[in-house]
Amino acid sequence: MRYLRLTSFGVTALGALAVLAAVVFDLGPAVVISGILLAWAGVVKIIVVYLWTRIAGLDSDRHNPIPPV
């Protein structure tokens, strides 16, 4: 889960960097929208990974998978 968490923060930072670069270098609205969507996807991914690790207990000994039927 550590790499998934790092990837989530990286995606968010990359989206914010794209928005910042688009504003500074006047790259156009397509890059701004792409950056916003990338940052939003990263935020959603951070929340999902948090829910998986802290609430569902995945990546720990608290998680008891349901046995197959």
pTM over 0.75: yes
The domain spans of the chain are 2-55
Give the whole-angstrom CA distance, residue 16 versus residue 55: 28
Nearest to 16 by CA among 46, 2, 37: 37
- The whole-number pLDDT of residue 69 equals 77
What confidence tens digit (pLDDT) does each residue in 31-59 have? 999 999 999 999 999 999 999 888 887 87
Task: Check whether 18 has a pLDDT greater than 90.
Answer: yes
- The whole-number pLDDT of residue 45 equals 96
- The whole-number pLDDT of residue 26 equals 95
